[in-house]
Structure 1
Amino acid sequence: MEGSGAEIGDEIGEGSREVEGEEEEDFIWSCWEGGEDCFTTPKKRTVVTAYGEEEEVLELKVDMVFPGWEEIEQQFRGYAKQKGFGVARRCGSLKSSISHTKDGSDKEKGIGKEKRNCLWTCECYGVPERRRKVIGDKVASDSQLHEVIGSGVRKFKKCQCPVHVFASVNKLGEWVIRRAVMVHENHYLTPSKSRTIAYNRKKFLRENPHVLTQANVCSKSGMSVAQTYNLVAVQRNGRGRMPFLRKDLNDVVAKERKARTSGGDAKAMFDYFKKMKADNFDFFHMYRQGANGMLQDVLWVDARSRAAYEEFGDVVCFDSTYLTDKYKMPFANFVGVNHHGQSILLGCALVSYENSNTFEWIFGNWLECMGGKAPIGILTDQDPAMRRALR
């Protein structure tokens, strides 16, 4: 076939190149009848993009049928990744589904909701948001702002790009593409920068757990997330080649830390308190939580400290300058001196904020634990919040 090589070369597109060693395999086979080709079957090509060697993803077209909406989204995101734009799932309606018992009775067995249609768009789809401006004593409306080009426009990625794919379920339960617009407007695509798209960045971290493992190892050794990110950037020859940002690594590390510590350290501490309370009824502990339900402050005093305070509670030293735990929560302690000149522990606390409200809670509960007997003197630092709480 004449001219086939030039036509196929044009299909590869800008920013891609053909894999070496496959130039002569443009077609899988051909049939010869009557001295001319009756039909040919083109081979699906492999292109090399910024992400490495990948198969070319076809565009979505109207009336294409898929078994589910997940397949459509996967196909559209794969196409967007090679072209260099982001995909957003905008909306989708749900339809209630009712399942009945096996005997065919009208009694409902369960009620659920199934997705019936969905819309996927380019991340630049839509009108940019605008700020309202005050003109004299009046506030300009949205219609007035639209009359002036660029008036009050925020720096936003939306530029009225019409690219979108809309699909719905037919009577057979199959997903059919109803509308598909693939021509971008008002912005340019850069396939080499598709790694900076938020979905692709997070997908890279999910598919490469060794990056999270390295971040956890660096965190245990005392390195911050910023230092870990710089280390990975050096290993990949610069930040320009990084497939994710520092805030993505920070989010993943924080999520992993939260999952690891949820019901872990706090639960272990309170289990220990319950065990100490079961062994000795004089063991005292108090805690309080914040508005979001997170543990905020903890105070505990064992039986030996309560007994020692009755004899050696005239002068007490209170200090909250210890930061030895991995959560960087200040550790405060009450210390006294016995008749041998030795320091004795009279109570411990973990505090969230060193303010007057926190110190009032600690001093009030500690005084209640000690039977309301206040010390004659107390030694502290020059913290104004602590002085206000002591008054």
Structure 2
Amino acid sequence: MSSPHSSSNIGISIAPKVGLQASDILGSHFDSVEDAQLWYNNYARMIGLGVRKDDMRRRKKSGRITIRRWVCHFKGVRHERQSENCRRVREPQPLKRTGCRASFRVNYDESVGKYIAKEFRPEHNHHLASNNEVHLIHSHQKVTDAELTQAKALRHVGVKTCQFMDYMADQVEGPQNLRFTRKDMQNTLDASTRAEVGDSDSDTTIAYFAAKFEHDPGLCFEYTLDDENRLQNLFWADCVARYDYQCFGDVLAFDATYKTNAYHKPLVTLVEINYYFRTTVFGFALLAEETIDSYAWLLQTFLSTMGNRKPVSVITDGDKAMWKAIKTVFTGCIHRLCCWHLERNA
């Protein structure tokens, strides 16, 4: 084990082992936050401890992380108000957190251009997971690149997730030896699919709308990008949809499919029934997620596209995020629930 004040990367040169003290780690250097997290997660896995992220501070101008802290997943305690709530409908979940103070923190030092370990508390006040239990802790559930490649190959030939999960479990002599659950594998596959189709298809879609706008000045499309410059939300409506809204826009109905497309994004269709009892489409949107902010952005963009003319009534399902966004953006409008959803829920 190298000196704790060595300038080498502790994530590589120092192997995590049981029995480390604060003096062994404080002052050690890491090249990046990822290296620090990798080292602490490996250390925690070896001793049977779960890890979760805690405090993080970032410079506004450069965006560089200056402080990053990790704590035990048993940190904190349940508030007394939650346990003493007599109006609780459901039974409270069993107590898991024990107020454990095990933690690890690094600070960025500009003089050396590295992250320095400033806090390391190895003490814990709870049972540590055994080698047969540690893979069940969330922070240690991870799908490796090799496992992901194998799963994608099996999925490509039509093998279902549950089937290749059984196959992988047989390879390691039982599901208890897998470092991930079926949900972890599904989430990793979904993320990989979004990364593969997201960038090229997003650029193609925006280029398509830009080209259509040259031939149809009445076309309107708006989009937002996330922190990694990837497509987040997208709304579009052509000149026919905008004209129809001026004629039949007294009542607006919209609903979101539940991520049934290849991009796993909610598709929102804004429609209404015209005087001839035919469905009239006023616009479409692909949202990053079904949240209040996403729906508020959609409604504000829709209003701007339609000349800030609000509908008299709005019909939706029982989604709470929709309801709060309507209340914020469509002030004064009458909000009603769809009778089909009411009958289905009943």
Q: TM-score, normalised by structure 2?
A: 0.49
- Whichever structure has more strand as a proportion of its residues is 1
* Bigger Cα Rg: 1
Q: TM-score, normalised by structure 1?
A: 0.44
